[in-house]
Chain A
């Protein structure tokens, strides 16, 4: 075995994140580490990367016990980590970022040549002179991989690498992964998607609640076995309503343009959403959907075109802890902030006062009603897990009785059960007559949730045919077109 994590245990306070978990990776092998969010995958990878010290257990490299005190130790021993989110310095160029990771000298001309030579050899083309901030999400990830390989990694740890990629880009990534393995390198692919594990891995290890429940060669396991291993029981079905909604039009836009926040901006969108339906948007990050959602939510002014939205509008942003909740605030405070001055706990006309006791009582009710696991309404939002924070955000959005509900990646980082609950709530809102507009970078979620599906590509939003499948949507997501054409 090239790398063995043997009987690793790790606890955070009362939470046992890993319980004697073992992962053995052979040379030249693509190893999928499968599990739901919160199963301990990331913790195990952080142990392998030197970011976390295990409470118990051993790490062996080529059969020799090693100690990883910092990520630097891991780099030195040829272990490279590709994080889900870019760790590149935005202001530096691609070449400079690579030099920083690999410890190369930074004389520009020589460095750019060296980077070009490397990216050519790896068939991972990148413009060395471009600032990292100008790269798309997919290219940023490519940069992360090149950084790791430039530092002579023999073992590559990839943390949920396809979360930010379109299907075709994911295919490309898997080709790179296979090629790297064919040359004798090892890859650990962390994922919660079965298809990926089955499609690309030689061996699969499944974690559930910190324990290894399955570890087997790809050929010896079936999709059904893996699902059961991951979830440990039945999953509530993601039921879709049978009837076709015919409520009033609550969101209508025509020729809508919104200036860019990142990526291309929104160049053209013309569609309506009726009360009672869930419209889901698919798209690779940075193709205009973010701007669209924010314009509908009333947070960005359209640059041109028509946009009519019924009020009240509630918005669930994807970034829970900087845009959604204020982590240092109590749950009550976060509820009060989001529900606004129409809430029953706001009194007075000239000077509006907050009745904190009434707000606290209502917050306590919401915690029960939405099964948010929290110490109480006075606990800070930072004390909640990601899934519970998300449930709180959903509760807060629905507390406004919105006619239009806008949600951005509403189940990012949630385990299957929490995600199913969030989906159910969004559907309930639609069933109660709201128009629900959701963006997700997870195609499966788009397919599961949307009564109708829109695709954002290169700033242009188009509606998919009813019944379009993954491949058709994937093709639409990557299409380029000029705003004047069609």
Chain B
């Protein structure tokens, strides 16, 4: 808990620095920074509707993918392919969804979620095998598969899954039973709740279970973990990566089942990459990922409003995201340096 708060403190400082730099930059570029930040804030938090219906909706995939990224990285593996796994989940969910007409929600929703989880996980099977059998870096193989997934979505919405009229490159709308219910009084789908519950569950797994501890050992000291004889390294690595990809697939399924109700190209505005920042900013700690996910959801929500109300291109918000990440990395490097110092002295003294 203390460490969660510490992580969030750094995140808060980073956010302030990012906003300050955005304000200065906008001022220099001749915009009115005050109006811009007001629009940003109003768009994200200005009303109950804006907060739940835009910010939290945007936050949901970020939280889910961020949790998955944290799961893999705790075991020392980099899953950069969440974008592709998200799309595979979306494709599978759409496929189930359009065939689910007449199904009860009790059957359709688990089927949609299951399809998303399975398809996301399936998309990382090849990188997992390459990593475990041949030592191919998963950071590269998963990244490359993003492009394949992107092409696959295009193929789907122009081919097998295209709407029957064949007019637009999009799928038919999914059946009503396959759509996630809204939380009462909001335009926020129930997937957000699932994301929060998963975060709490994962937090418990990380902090309290033997499996979670061994995963951290594998990521922190892979040789020592293996030599201890207690950590089946390959199996744990595979499990963590599959779980990581499944969470990204679930995010894709929820996006279709709770927001778009159909498959499009460019369904994701880069969730798979933004979520990496979400997870790192939270120092891979699940409860903190909820908060940073909402924070980045708010930035993206506010960006739309800023463009609409203050005429400032939405991409300006990426400056804030970038500055947050830079501040975070600086903080990390500084604290690592402090932590290293006694070790350096040890080495110099000749005690290895």
A residues at B contact (CB < 8 Å)? 12-13, 15, 17, 37-38, 41-43, 46, 51-52, 297-299, 313, 315, 317, 319-329, 333, 336-338, 340-341, 346, 351-354, 356, 380, 382-383, 385-387, 412-413
Of B223, B224, B345, B349, the contact of A337 (CB 8 Å cutoff):
B224
Q: Which residues of B (16-60) have their CB < 8 Å from a CB of A?
A: none
Of B221, B228, B231, B351, the contact of A38 (CB 8 Å cutoff):
B351
B residues at A contact (CB < 8 Å)? 208-211, 213-214, 217, 220-221, 223-231, 339, 342-343, 345-346, 348-352
Q: Can you give 18 A-B contacts (C-beta < 8 A)?
A: A12-B349, A38-B349, A41-B350, A298-B229, A317-B227, A320-B352, A325-B224, A326-B217, A327-B343, A328-B339, A337-B224, A337-B225, A340-B229, A352-B211, A353-B208, A354-B209, A382-B346, A413-B350
The residue of chain B having its C-beta at the shortest distance from the C-beta of A359 within the complex is B213
Collect the chain B residues with CB atoms within 8 Å of residue A386's CB.
346, 351-352
Complex Cα–Cα for A321 and B346 (A): 12
- In this complex, which of B210, B217, B231 has the most chain A Cβ atoms within 10 angstroms of its Cβ? B210
Extra A-B contacts (18), CB below 8 Å, given A327-B343, A333-B213 = A17-B349, A37-B350, A42-B348, A42-B349, A297-B229, A299-B229, A315-B227, A321-B352, A322-B221, A329-B220, A333-B217, A337-B224, A341-B210, A351-B209, A354-B210, A354-B213, A385-B351, A386-B351
With A13-B345, A337-B230, A346-B210 known to touch, is A38 a contact of B224 (CB < 8 Å)?
no
**7 tightest Cβ-Cβ pairs between the two chains A and B:** A326-B221, A42-B350, A386-B351, A352-B210, A12-B345, A323-B227, A340-B230
Is the CB–CB distance between B352 and A326 below 8 Å?
no
Collect the chain A residues with CB atoms within 8 Å of residue B352's CB.
320-321, 386, 412-413
Complex Cα–Cα for A340 and B342 (A): 29
Is the CB–CB distance between B220 and A38 below 8 Å?
no
Is the CB–CB distance between B342 and A382 below 8 Å?
yes
Of A51, A322, A341, the contact of B230 (CB 8 Å cutoff):
A341
Collect the chain A residues with CB atoms within 8 Å of residue B350's CB.
37-38, 41-43, 413
Of A38, A324, A336, A353, the contact of B227 (CB 8 Å cutoff):
A324
Nearest Cβ distance between residue B210 and chain A, in whole angstroms? 4
The residue of chain B having its C-beta at the shortest distance from the C-beta of A321 within the complex is B352
Collect the chain B residues with CB atoms within 8 Å of residue A346's CB.
210
- In this complex, which of B223, B228, B230 has the most chain A Cβ atoms within 10 angstroms of its Cβ? B228
Is the CB–CB distance between A337 and B228 below 8 Å?
yes
Is the CB–CB distance between A338 and B210 below 8 Å?
no
Is the CB–CB distance between A338 and B230 below 8 Å?
yes
Collect the chain B residues with CB atoms within 8 Å of residue A383's CB.
342
Nearest Cβ distance between residue B228 and chain A, in whole angstroms? 5
The residue of chain B having its C-beta at the shortest distance from the C-beta of A312 within the complex is B229
Complex Cα–Cα for A180 and B26 (A): 70
Complex Cα–Cα for A195 and B225 (A): 39
Nearest Cβ distance between residue B76 and chain A, in whole angstroms? 12
With A315-B229, A382-B343 known to touch, is A52 a contact of B348 (CB < 8 Å)?
yes
The residue of chain B having its C-beta at the shortest distance from the C-beta of A322 within the complex is B223
Complex Cα–Cα for A338 and B226 (A): 10
- In this complex, which of A41, A326, A380 has the most chain B Cβ atoms within 10 angstroms of its Cβ? A326
With A37-B350, A385-B346, A385-B351 known to touch, is A328 a contact of B221 (CB < 8 Å)?
yes
Complex Cα–Cα for A351 and B206 (A): 12
Is the CB–CB distance between B348 and A43 below 8 Å?
yes
Is the CB–CB distance between B348 and A299 below 8 Å?
no
Complex Cα–Cα for A413 and B349 (A): 11
Is the CB–CB distance between B210 and A326 below 8 Å?
no
Nearest Cβ distance between residue B161 and chain A, in whole angstroms? 39
The residue of chain A having its C-beta at the shortest distance from the C-beta of B341 within the complex is A13
The residue of chain A having its C-beta at the shortest distance from the C-beta of B340 within the complex is A382
Is the CB–CB distance between B220 and A328 below 8 Å?
yes
Complex Cα–Cα for A13 and B260 (A): 60
Nearest Cβ distance between residue A299 and chain B, in whole angstroms? 6
Complex Cα–Cα for A380 and B343 (A): 11
Nearest Cβ distance between residue B182 and chain A, in whole angstroms? 33
The residue of chain B having its C-beta at the shortest distance from the C-beta of A356 within the complex is B208
With A326-B217, A327-B221, A337-B224 known to touch, is A12 a contact of B348 (CB < 8 Å)?
yes
Of B211, B224, B229, B231, the contact of A324 (CB 8 Å cutoff):
B224
Collect the chain B residues with CB atoms within 8 Å of residue A315's CB.
227, 229
With A13-B342, A37-B350 known to touch, is A353 a contact of B210 (CB < 8 Å)?
yes
Nearest Cβ distance between residue A45 and chain B, in whole angstroms? 9
Collect the chain A residues with CB atoms within 8 Å of residue B221's CB.
322, 325-329
Collect the chain B residues with CB atoms within 8 Å of residue A336's CB.
213
Complex Cα–Cα for A353 and B207 (A): 9
Complex Cα–Cα for A322 and B222 (A): 8
Collect the chain A residues with CB atoms within 8 Å of residue B342's CB.
13, 382-383
Is the CB–CB distance between A329 and B217 below 8 Å?
yes
Is the CB–CB distance between B225 and A46 below 8 Å?
no
Complex Cα–Cα for A298 and B229 (A): 8
Nearest Cβ distance between residue A392 and chain B, in whole angstroms? 12
Complex Cα–Cα for A340 and B350 (A): 31
Complex Cα–Cα for A315 and B228 (A): 8
Complex Cα–Cα for A329 and B217 (A): 8
Nearest Cβ distance between residue A418 and chain B, in whole angstroms? 10
Is the CB–CB distance between A43 and B349 below 8 Å?
yes
Collect the chain A residues with CB atoms within 8 Å of residue B224's CB.
322-326, 337
Nearest Cβ distance between residue B205 and chain A, in whole angstroms? 8
Collect the chain A residues with CB atoms within 8 Å of residue B226's CB.
299
- In this complex, which of B214, B220, B349 has the most chain A Cβ atoms within 10 angstroms of its Cβ? B349
The residue of chain A having its C-beta at the shortest distance from the C-beta of B336 within the complex is A328
Collect the chain A residues with CB atoms within 8 Å of residue B348's CB.
12, 42-43, 46, 51-52
Nearest Cβ distance between residue B211 and chain A, in whole angstroms? 7
Complex Cα–Cα for A382 and B351 (A): 11
Collect the chain B residues with CB atoms within 8 Å of residue A37's CB.
350-351
Complex Cα–Cα for A336 and B348 (A): 29
Nearest Cβ distance between residue A41 and chain B, in whole angstroms? 7
Collect the chain A residues with CB atoms within 8 Å of residue B208's CB.
353-354, 356
The residue of chain B having its C-beta at the shortest distance from the C-beta of A336 within the complex is B213
Complex Cα–Cα for A317 and B352 (A): 13
Collect the chain B residues with CB atoms within 8 Å of residue A319's CB.
223
Collect the chain A residues with CB atoms within 8 Å of residue B230's CB.
337-338, 340-341
The residue of chain A having its C-beta at the shortest distance from the C-beta of B217 within the complex is A337
